[in-house]
Chain A
Amino acid sequence: MSEEMEPKLLNNTMSRKGFVAMTGAAGLAAFLAACGGSSDSSSDSVNEAQADGVTAEEAAAGGSFDPATEPDGPIEVFTWAGYDNSPEEGAPWMWSEYEDGPYGTKSPLKWTFLEDDGQALSKVASGYSPDISHPCIAYTVQWKEAGLIQPLDLKLLPDFDGVPTAISAGAVIDGVPYMVPFDVGFSCLTYDADVVNFDNVGGKESWEILLDDTYKGKMSIFSDDVAIIKIGQLINEGAVDPNVMTTEQIAAAKETALKIKPNLRNYWTSQTDTVNDFVNGNLVATYTWPDGYWKIKNHPKMKDRNIKYMQPIQGRLAWVCGMVLSSATKQPGRASLAMAAANTPSAGAGLTDYFQYASAQQKGVMELIQNKELIAAFDIDKPEAWEPPNAWFEAPLPNYREYITAGQEVKAA
């Protein structure tokens, strides 16, 4: 975070536009710091982050909870599929510190799953009230403005300072932290390089492949309204920040998205579905997160195929998601402890080992990652891979309603 921006945040005077600009810059800075190269350099970045960590004023501005005085009862976590504590399909290593702790049995964790950010926010806005939710950082402003989340109590989050300020700043609003940033990753096309070539779109990996009707009916993208429009924008404008779009650009991106639509097999709502479609031969290119790519690449049916994760000339899309605390929870302290369990270095390393994501937590995480191959495969040690124009991090969208309306219209057309 730049020096001139931080005081504005603390003084509550930053405009929405300024906030967007700040988080856009944070996206770049985040991975210079967060993904900082080898183990050594990551340690350096962690130290820097700790030095820059959330200020005392910010910490003081947060909540203050006492888990011991809170009532017993389940803590409901509204998260993405796969982040629950199921030993077979989930991520029990994420929550073990909480479950083995003093409140693990008195306030056991319960799970519900979200499909995408828009659906999660609108579900909670319409009355559903989990204790912890797991949105992406770009939506934190909307969650906060709708009064759905409350400030964190950093005293209950001992590893919070391992998250570089550049990342956590995206969820610090009016000087108060609202999210424990957790998982970080790309969104891009996984494709079968034995089948797909980019000759018709200039010979280089490009989002324009979605316009190539050679692969009509064999491609798929995520059913996220914002992503649909951002892809249209990247195709139209090239490597230009898709978080900042005018009404005219959104309209043009919508037209491009409409041209893409006939080539798509579907807009997927579950990554598992699209992975299955791919490995069963129904798709040759599909939008996935890193874990989707890894599952396809390592699927037995794909062992003789040349599966690649596209690095388009316009840049990949990228995201940071994290845990927020419901304003309606009766157990904010215990919920904070559960969030703290997901914020430990070992949980951060698990994100790479089990999900092939990067982690917002940086304190010693590189050393804990067991499968070092993944660090290279997903450029976790290459900061430049996470910077524009190679990647575009999600940022709060002041005109998000325009993005969503356009995306909806594409799907309905």
Chain B
Amino acid sequence: MPLGSQQLRRQRTSTLLSLAGVTASLLVIFAQLGIERAVYDSGVRIHRAVVGDLVLVPPGFKSLQLHAEVPAAMTDIVDTNPAVAGTAPFWFGIMSMTHAGMKASRQLAWYAIDVERPAIDVPGLKENLYKLREVRRILFDRDSRPYFGDLAEVAERGEEVPVLGPPNMRQLLPEMFVVGTVKIGPNVVNDGAVVMSENTMTEVFGPWWVDRPAFITIQLVPGVDRMAVRDQLNKALSGRGEVITRSEFEAREKEYWARETPVGYITDLGFVMGLMIGMVFIYYAQYQIIRFYLPEYAILKSLGYDWWFFLCMVGQIGAAIITPAYLVAFTLARLVYGVAETTIHLGMAMGLREMVVSLIASLVMTAVSSVFAIRRLWKVDPIMLFE
């Protein structure tokens, strides 16, 4: 019996108000999920590009953004394990950069690799790797935010674009040349990135960086038990470094953003707020209908309808609101994601996770509000119809 949805149709004002409220709350949820995805995913772009089976990181590693270092000497211990085929260091830091096409300098991430054995693989790196053998040659991230002018376009045309790096100890700006592009993408902290060789890094930032990589990737001999080797290496390192798998490497970074930065807290709070606002609006519609039709529910009770029917009916009211609200919010969220992504370049997109989580949130909203709403129906007694 389509009672719930027909009652809803006859209560237009409450229905429209609830629809608008639930749509807005779902949009808030979508926005939180989008921000979360953008922050977490953009934070692990380098982690996902790592070449190797295991990663040697500083003890208690949480995030690359904390700029902890692992002593390069640790590779000597790692290399002694017969299961290790090779290691590759990776350096990471922040610098300012400017060029003729920019009004002011801008912060961006720099990644340095050993050109003979790169620790990462990102689109554009392999074909441009040879260019990095020459000192002060760098590759610019073409997915950087648009603050860097036409740098990427000019470099992709094959021209060498001179840029100025951060001031050195004598306050002189070292000159470097962009000789090509790679595709990495910015994150919350950095507007863009450049990739350079170990030699360029030494020349621009100083030789002491060589002994302080951010992490070292470990290539294993084919066929060995990865987890067993990880345990052996950790035992050998005795806490001076930590060997973790690539998935652990990525998970720790995400965990850091989710648990140890305001981002995770704010998005979680926004999600819960959206959920609660949605519940209130669905409950409002259910409550208005129950209040208006109370004597009619007494008739249904006199006809022998049980609590299960009433729960289904109240759920039907909730579903009749949440379904169009979800579709509208989903469509609007895709538009919002698209507009936001054009500006922030953080990989904000509607994925399966966003769809499933918001759908589950919608179901939770409907279920919880229905449970609250049905409590009012317990009090309905057909005796009231005799009075």
Q: Do A and B come from one complex?
A: no
Chain A residues engaging chain B, CB cutoff 8 angstroms? none
